[in-house]
Amino acid sequence: MKHCTDYSLKSLHTFGMDVKAAHWVEYASVSELRTLLMFMKTEWAKLPWIHIGGGCNLLFASDYYKGVVMHSAIKGWQVVHEDDTCLHLRVGAGVVWDELVAYTVSQGWGGMENLSLIPGEVGASAVQNIGAYGVEVKDLIVEVETVETTLGQPYVFSVKECGYAYRQSAFKGPLGKRFVITHVTYRLQKKPLFHLDYGNIRAELEHMGGEVSLENVRQAVINIRESKLPDPQVVGNAGSFFMNPVVSRQVMERIREDYPQVPFYEVDDERVKIPAGWMIEQCGWKGRSLGRAAVHDKQALVLVNLGGATGREVMDLSEAVRHDVREKFGVEIYPEVNIIS
Ligand code: EPU
């Protein structure tokens, strides 16, 4: 187990602020996690704690976190079930997501290819219900193994118990403080079922020569993401800052009267999802800055740290953007990133 005090998290989260934590702890096995939880219960009972993954979806609102920041270094994966059509892969929560995707694609196992290049780690994939290009990770998850934080006992969540919806899970609510994810089991297809009808995937595949294969779909997704999303190594960001709002058809029709070109995706009979990036662009925010924080110039859903921005500056920008979207469209948008105060 690793433990550091007054530890800089600058390289451990992608917004790149120089935030420090009173305690930073990294464990590498379920037994180390249980030891840590028992220690926290007796010695650090008064301290707040958070569990981070790759730090790709976090904004620290202040520059010092007075509690314990935990990180999983549980690595490794094994096939735990196999039949004629699919297999189940059990993966440690600390595995880097895109290393897993690259491996599954290299094995010819389908399911994760549309989720290529999403930053972060396996544990967070199950908390955030990460999604891109028509695939959400909930569609692949079989079960999520956890340790309960007060008693240190293992508990396995079936996918149903995880309460998944668009960018939502039970772990984003109070259960996230009661259970720490240690492993996630995913279902993968031996004969891939491709999802090519979302966004520019088909166009990008054609541009690449047209052959539909797991490697090519992965590469197409990588090309699209790299062309739109800023590289956190170059400019601090946490991917999509806001969720796309789900609104009634009535609201969408009202917006469509003034903006006939409004894009939307079907959710169910009554509701549609409108891309927040489109609304933010219509408000004139794309590429604009406030202090040292800005709206990304290629994808308005992403807020960036231009260099030296504080968490407060990003929050102020977020509030200004939300205000203008509310005024113009009468729609509330909410951050997708987890804001740590
Ligand atoms: N759009 C604009 N202007 C913009 C951005 C988007 O007009 O600046 C419009 C366009 O009409 C575009 C539509 O919005 O066709 C959708 O844009 P895009 O396909 O880029 O996707 P998104 O809805 O903005 C979501 C996810 C992304 C994921 C993409 C692709 C959320 C919060 N974000 O973004 O996920 O990569 O779809 O599937 O659902 C992330 O979570 O960090 C992330 C990057």
Judge whether 215 counts as a catalytic residue.
no
Q: DSSP secondary-structure letter at 31?
A: H
Residue with tokens 């920008």: 317
Considering the domain boundaries, does residue 212 fall inside one?
Answer: no
Return the axis-axis angle of helices 214-228 and 97-107, rounded to nearest 10°.
150
* Angstrom distance (rounded) from CA 309 to CA 324: 22
- Both 84 and 159 in one domain: the answer is yes
Alpha carbon 340 to its chain's center:
15
What are the two backbone dihedrals, phi and then psi, of residue 301, each rounded to the nearest 5 degrees?
-80, -10
Q: What is the CATH number of the domain that holds 124?
A: 3.30.465.10
| Ligand 1 atom 21 nearest Cα | 275
Per residue in 256-278, pLDDT (tens digit) is 999 999 999 999 999 999 999 99
CA distance 298 to 287: 8
Q: Structure tokens of 153?
A: 């006992």
Whether 277 is in the pocket of ligand 1, judged by its Cβ within 6 Å, is yes
- Given 189, 211, 226, the domain boundary residue is 189
Task: Assess whether 319 and 251 both reside in one domain.
Answer: yes
Q: Are residues 67 and 87 in the same domain?
A: no
**Cα 100 to Cα 112: distance, rounded to the nearest angstrom:** 9
Domain final residue, candidates 30, 55, 72: 72
Q: Which of 14, 38, 72 is the last residue of a domain?
A: 72
The total domain count for the chain is 3
Q: Quick one: which atom of ligand 1 is closest to the CA of 299?
A: 8
Residue 328: is it exposed, middle or buried by C-beta count within 10 angstroms (0-12/13-18/19+)?
Answer: middle
Query: Alpha-carbon distance 165 to 171, whole Å?
Result: 12
Enumerate the H helices of the chain as residue ranges: 30-43, 97-107, 122-128, 175-178, 201-207, 214-228, 249-258, 276-282, 311-329
Instruction: Examine residue 156 and state whether it is found in any structural domain, yes or no.
Output: yes
Q: Which two tokens stand for residue 60?
A: 């620290």
Ligand 1, atom 13, lies closest to the CA of 275
Q: Are 54 and 73 in contact (CB under 8 A)?
A: no
In this predicted structure, what is the pLDDT of residue 43? Answer: 95
Whose CA is closest to atom 33 on ligand 1?
240
Which of these, 222, 239, 313, lies nearest to 57 by C-alpha position?
239
- Is 195 near ligand 1, meaning CB less than 6 Å away? no
Query: What's the confidence (pLDDT) of residue 257?
Result: 98
CATH code of 306's domain = 3.90.78.10
CA of 10 to the centre of ligand 1 (A): 27
Residues 336 and 244 in one domain: yes
The pLDDT, as a whole number, for residue 196 is: 96
What DSSP line would sit under 100-112, residue for residue?
A: HHHHHHHHT-BSS
What does the block give as tokens for 8? 């800089």
* Cα 183 to ligand 1 centre (Å): 29
CA distance 156 to 164: 15
Rounded distance between C-alpha atoms, residue 313 and residue 318, angstroms? 9
Q: What CATH number corresponds to the domain at position 57?
A: 3.30.43.10
Residue 16 counted as domain residue: yes
Q: Is 178 a catalytic residue?
A: no
Residue 240 alpha carbon, nearest atom of ligand 1: 42
Q: Is the CB of 336 under 6 A from ligand 1?
A: yes
Q: Under a CB-based contact definition with an 8 Å cutoff, are residues 38 and 21 in contact?
A: no
Of the candidates 72, 116, 125, 240, the residue annotated as catalytic is: 240
Q: Does ligand 1 lie within 6 Å of residue 201's CB atom?
A: no
The answer to the question of residue 199 being in a domain is no
- What pLDDT sits at residue 210? 78
Domain that holds residue 318: 236-340
Residue 201 inside a domain? The answer is: no
**Is 8 noted as a catalytic residue in this protein?**
no
Q: Ligand 1 centroid to 149 CA: how many Å?
A: 35
Residue ranges in the chain whose pLDDT is less than 70: none
Same domain? For 67 and 93 the reply is no
Pair (35, 105) in one structural domain = no
Distances (CA, A) of 242 to 101, 197, 275: 25, 23, 10
Q: Is the CB of 132 under 6 A from ligand 1?
A: yes
Query: What's the rounded Cα separation, in Å, for the pair 302 and 59?
Result: 13
324 Cα to the center of ligand 1, angstroms:
19
Output the pLDDT for position 199: 83
The verdict on residue 102 lying in a domain is: yes
Q: Which of 90, 167, 202, 271 is catalytic?
A: 167
Q: Is 244 helix (H, G, I), strand (E, B) or coil?
A: coil
What is the reported pTM?
Answer: 0.95
Give, using CA atoms, the residue closest to atom 3 of ligand 1. Answer: 278
| Amino acid making up residue 3 | H
Q: What is the dihedral of CA 322, 331, 195, 156, to 10 degrees?
A: 80
User: What is the residue whose two structure tokens read 């240190």?
Assistant: 152
Determine the Cα–Cα distance for residues 223 and 220; give it in Å rounded to an integer: 5
pLDDT tens by residue, 301-326: 999 999 999 999 999 999 999 999 99
Which of 129, 172, 227, 240 best tests ligand 1's pocket when mutated (most atoms within 8 Å of CB)? 240
